[in-house]
Amino acid sequence: MVERKQQLERDKVSRLVNWGHWFALFNGFLALIVGSRYLETVGLPETLTGWGYLALASIGQFSFLAFLLYLLLIFPVTLLLPYSKILRGLAATVATLGLCILLYDTIVYDDYGVHLSPFAFDVAWADLPSLLSGTSYIVTPIGILALELTAANFLWKRIVKIEKWRIGGKVAAVLGSCFIASHLVHIWADAAKVKDITRYDDAYPLFYPATAKSFMESHGLDSAGGLSKLGEQQQLGYSLDALSCKPQNKPNVLIVAVDALRADMLNPQTMPFLSNYGTDNQLFDKHLSGGNQFQSGMFSLFYGLQGSYMAAPDFQTISPLLTQGFVTSGYALKRFGPASNEINPRPLALFNDFDAALMDDSESRALADIQSREAFEEWRKQQTSPWFALVNLGAPETYDTPVGFAGIETIKAPQGMAPAQRVLFSQYRQSLHFIDSELKSLINHLPADTLVIITGTSGKAFTSNEAEARRDLSPQSVRVPLIIHWPGGEQAQVNYTTSHHGLAPTLMTRVLGCTNPITDYSAGRQLLMPSEQPWVYVGDNRFFAIYQDDEITVIDRHGKYDIYSSDFKTRLNKKLSAPDLIQVMREGRRLYHQ
């Protein structure tokens, strides 16, 4: 009698487990329908191979998610409380909650480009009022719950009949095969760089497709070139449309980019020549570099794009459209500067259109700056056609001055500086005074028809800790002077916010005569009128800040963020502005083909 009762209990549990598997399969199908919304954001495949992979990955992933939810939340209860009514109600509730979360994730992914996480939920929380403004937030969960209860009861009443079909193993084998096959196909696609497949790597939540890198490296194979690149497609639209440019006049163009040139040091005491030169020409009072390092500053200056694009593989071979335009217009291009800035250039194609004259600065950056100026002056005298030159001066980055430099009187350092910082501040002023003398010598010998642009690649934080300097996105590290001398003699003091992103479109429209909308090839800013965007992106693709008039938001690659007052002295206890962050993230995806 006891054995009979135990057998009945085992049969009951077995029946409930079978029911749970079929209920999970049903929810995998519903999740697949809801998950199709992700494709509206990512875009549909363009090849038959892409469609095949997407079908395998979608079926495998959403079946996996449904079974995982069952395994974690329903199966344990089946063993502890093997009562069908309790399980059906619980399973329907859990499934409804899971589908609602998935549905909300599709909305967040469409707006922000990321899946739900503590960071994403924190940001998306600000959008909840708009999401809850209608009745759908009530009707949809009720409708899903009603569907789930109906399906749970339907399957339970027919579970004995379904068991007789003996197809459960075959269905499981098909779903498992889809899951495994999608990962195997992705291993090949990752090695062969088939972008119509790898573009979906982040499309679905908890989707981590296998890659070939570790396997191939362990067997001594080169994943970058060992397999065919069949199916590789260019995803970046730079420019979004063919450029239409026709320069009317061809002035000589000189860009002087000074490493570590802080805007607050442009004063008559430290840099008398540059201070007067700014007053006599076009001076931009509220100018930001695109980053706090040489690479991010130069990237924003020449490409006109925010630093989130720096990691794009396309820019390893595609040089800036700005320099391409000058080459096409018959300009001679050359750059001069310290050789140490060539270490690990990123992106690789940034200076491809320039001939280079790089000076050894291993002993002294100040001496290298003198040599760069002299080399430029010698080269300029030899030119018979319009020229475009970049002179990069680097002494302030290392607080350097040449041997025997007289210098200027020291002044009291700003309040709040530590003793070591006061020493660096004093030496920094000496270096800037030296640079001021080099700029005076450089500019006073230029032809009258030269368009001159003087700015900083970045600002300067007074620290000897390189890691600390790389993470410092405060105004002292990114606010730089910008002075433009137009051959026509325009004079103005611009007091609205500008950034390095605006230089390329300004030169392309005013010098190269490009008529395209500037959003075709840049971040959509220009220097000669206020930007419609209330923010500026500063940094690279790993660590960046969003500068606004009244606050500065610093975000790392893990989604951790801090919000500071505009002077960076007070940390604000507030949430991210969701609408502005949406604009930033959309700008970071705008040039990619869907």
What is the pLDDT averaged over residues 248-269?
95
pLDDT over 70 (residue 53): yes
**If you average pLDDT over every residue of the chain, what do you get?**
87
- Give the model's confidence band at 233: pLDDT under 50 very low, under 70 low, under 90 confident, else very high: very low
- Is residue 98 classed exposed, middle or buried when 0-12, 13-18 and 19+ CB atoms within 10 A define those classes? buried
Between residues 381 and 163, the one the model is more confident about? 381
The sheet with strand 561-565 has its strands ordered as: 536-539, 543-547, 551-556, 561-565, 571-572
C-alpha 462/C-alpha 504 separation (Å) is 30
Query: CATH number of the domain at 252-587, please?
Result: 3.40.720.10
- Is residue 34 classed exposed, middle or buried when 0-12, 13-18 and 19+ CB atoms within 10 A define those classes? middle
Tokens of 430: 């000496």
Residue corresponding to tokens 């959403």:
62
pLDDT at 3: 61
- The pLDDT tens digits of the residues spanning 259-315 come to 999 999 999 999 999 999 999 999 999 999 999 999 999 999 999 999 989 988 889
Domain ranges for the chain: 2-218, 252-587
pLDDT over 80 (residue 135): no
C-alpha 382/C-alpha 77 separation (Å) is 85
- Picking from 10-14, 236-240, 253-257, 319-323, which range would have the lowest pLDDT averaged per residue? 10-14
pLDDT at 287: 97
- For residue 446, give the amino acid letter: L
- Give the model's confidence band at 433: pLDDT under 50 very low, under 70 low, under 90 confident, else very high: very high
C-alpha 545/C-alpha 568 separation (Å) is 12
Cβ neighbours of 442 (radius 10 Å)? 22
What is the pLDDT averaged over residues 51-57?
94
The model's pTM: 0.73
pLDDT over 70 (residue 83): yes
- Picking from 21-25, 397-401, 465-469, 557-561, which range would have the lowest pLDDT averaged per residue? 557-561
- The pLDDT tens digits of the residues spanning 303-351 come to 999 998 998 888 989 999 999 999 999 999 999 999 999 876 678 899 9
Between residues 89 and 582, the one the model is more confident about? 89
- Picking from 49-58, 113-122, 366-375, 433-442, which range would have the lowest pLDDT averaged per residue? 113-122
